[in-house]
Structure formats: C-alpha cells, structure tokens
Amino acid sequence: MKNLYAILLLFMLPTMAFSGKEKIETVRVRGEYILTTNADVTFKQAATEALNEAKTMAVKKVCGEMVNVWTRMASSEVGESFNSLSLNEVNGELVEYNVINEGYEHSAEHKGEMTFYCEIEAKVKKGLEPDPDFVADIEGIKGVYFEGDKIEFKVTPYRNAYLKIFCMENDKLGYRLYPNDIDGGVKVLEAGKKHGILEYSDLECAKSTDKKVEINYLVFVFTKDECPYYKDENSWQEIESWMAKIPSDCKYIYYVPIEIREKQ
C-alpha cells in the first residue's frame, strides 16, 4: 500500500526534540528460540523470535531485569501471513542494532529439535518514563479492508501534538503516509479536537503479492515537538531507530495490524 502523493517535506527545519543527554551503551548479545517437532511455527517465524529475544536481552543487559520491553505481534486470522514488529519502550530503548550472526543448530539431546539463534550488536539507552497525559484516541480504522477501499480515520490528541503515520507491508518495507502535501503538510494537531487524517489523499488499499490476504501495519507516532522524518520509503529498523531517539516522555506510539483482502 503506497501513498503516491507523499513527497519529501524539504522545508521542515532539521531541529529535533530528541537531543537528550541519555547515555547510550553498546552491547553484544545472542537470542535463541527452540523449535520443537510439534510446534506450528515456520523457520521464518523461529528466526524472527530469536531476533526479538536478542533485542529484549540487549535492553535488559543495559537497563536491568525490571525493564519493560513491550512486544506486539499479529498474524492473519486466516493463517496466510506472518509479520511481526517489535518496540522497546518505557525504561529502555533499542536505538539501533546490527545482526552479527544467525542460523540454527540441531539438538544433540532431543531428536528433531532445533535452536534458532541470532547474535546482534545493539546500542541501548535507558529511557524516561512515558507521560501518561500524552496520549491520543484513534477512530475509524477497520480490521479488514478490500483492495480499492479508501483508508481514512480521525485522531483526537489529549495534548497538542505532531503526527507521523507509516504503513509497513512487512518488516523490510514500508511507506510514510502522513504528513503529506495533500492533507496539509506538517501541522500541529490541537488537543481535544477530532482531526480527519488522509481525508484528501484518496489513499486506497492495494496488495503487493498474490496472496489472498496480506497483513499491513499502520504505525502512529505522536510527538510533543516536530521531529522530522524525510524518507518516503522505510524499513522497520529505520523507523524503530528514529522512534527510539525520541525521549519516552515526548512521544506516544500506537500501531495496529490491518488485513487487506482480494476484492470480492
């Protein structure tokens, strides 16, 4: 799903609100996921679980065992797709990471059992507590869309806020949907008011594969100050790294999976 109208907003000032003084530490960790013979999990899913475990371990290693690492996953209700995105929030944040080594090993003790592993070098910072008053309501998003359906919704921030919206087709490729020049460009959303988003973009759902059902993610990032993001096409790692640099008390993140189905 791609917004053809989104353009680079070159006029935005390059000042950002995440130039805090938090200390960033670099650690090297290994995450593992054991795949048993009776598990209904693909190799790709097992590899993703090992990576997510490595991310969690990296944050815990820097911030302690009490750190709250929030991970949310979703898959198609018809079982045709598996996608996962993870966010590290609250007391510890993953700024960026590089995969050093990954693969799998057969168990010498349990026949058929395999251990998937992923070793990463990660930069982690201790985060600030989120601001409980800096939240927003999002209305009008459906769980299922058909090809050609238009996407639009309303948001109501509890405080004045700036908003970035991304659509992720998978963990490798996504698009910045908002702000764009059609829907008014960068602007502050006034607290307590409902704001129509993507009302004028004529953004329609489209599938990128031949599968009958695809899972996309809509990622909403509300910030207290304008934090520019210029790229139209993104990977999840790029977006996650950008979000991690924004202090926890200056952002509110919400994301939701949506199904896109063939038009009947």
Provide Rg for the chain, Cα atoms.
Answer: 19
CB atoms < 10 A from the CB of 90, how many? 17
Nearest to 48 by CA among 94, 101, 84, 98: 84
- For the four alpha carbons of 124, 128, 130 and 133, in that order, the dihedral sign comes to negative
Contact status, residue 31 vs residue 118, Cβ threshold 8 Å: yes
Determine the pLDDT at residue 91: 60
pLDDT value at residue 172? 77
Choice among 59-73, 119-133, 218-232 with the minimum mean pLDDT: 59-73
Q: Which of 99, 113, 1 has the alpha carbon at shortest distance from 50?
A: 99
The pLDDT value given to residue 195: 93
Encoded amino acid at 164, one letter: K
d(CA 133, CA 127): 17
Tell me what the mean pLDDT of segment 29-46 comes to.
Answer: 88
Quote the CA–CA distance of 220 and 231 in Å, as a whole number. Answer: 16
CA of 251: how far to CAs of 159, 196, 222, in Å?
Answer: 11, 20, 5
> pLDDT by residue (tens digit) across 143-201?
888 888 888 899 999 999 999 999 888 777 888 889 888 877 789 999 999 999 888 78
Under a CB-based contact definition with an 8 Å cutoff, are residues 227 and 169 in contact?
A: no
Cβ contact 226:234 at 8 Å: no
pLDDT above 90 for 64: no
In this predicted model, what pLDDT tens digit does every residue of 8-36 receive, in sequence order? 222 222 223 333 456 789 999 999 999 88
Tens-digit pLDDT profile for residues 93-111 = 788 899 999 999 998 888 8
**For position 30, what pLDDT does the model report?**
96
pLDDT (0 to 100) of residue 27: 94
Residue 108 and residue 101 in contact, taking contact as beta carbons nearer than 8 Å: no
The residue-averaged pLDDT of 130-148 equals 90
Q: What is the pLDDT of residue 143?
A: 84
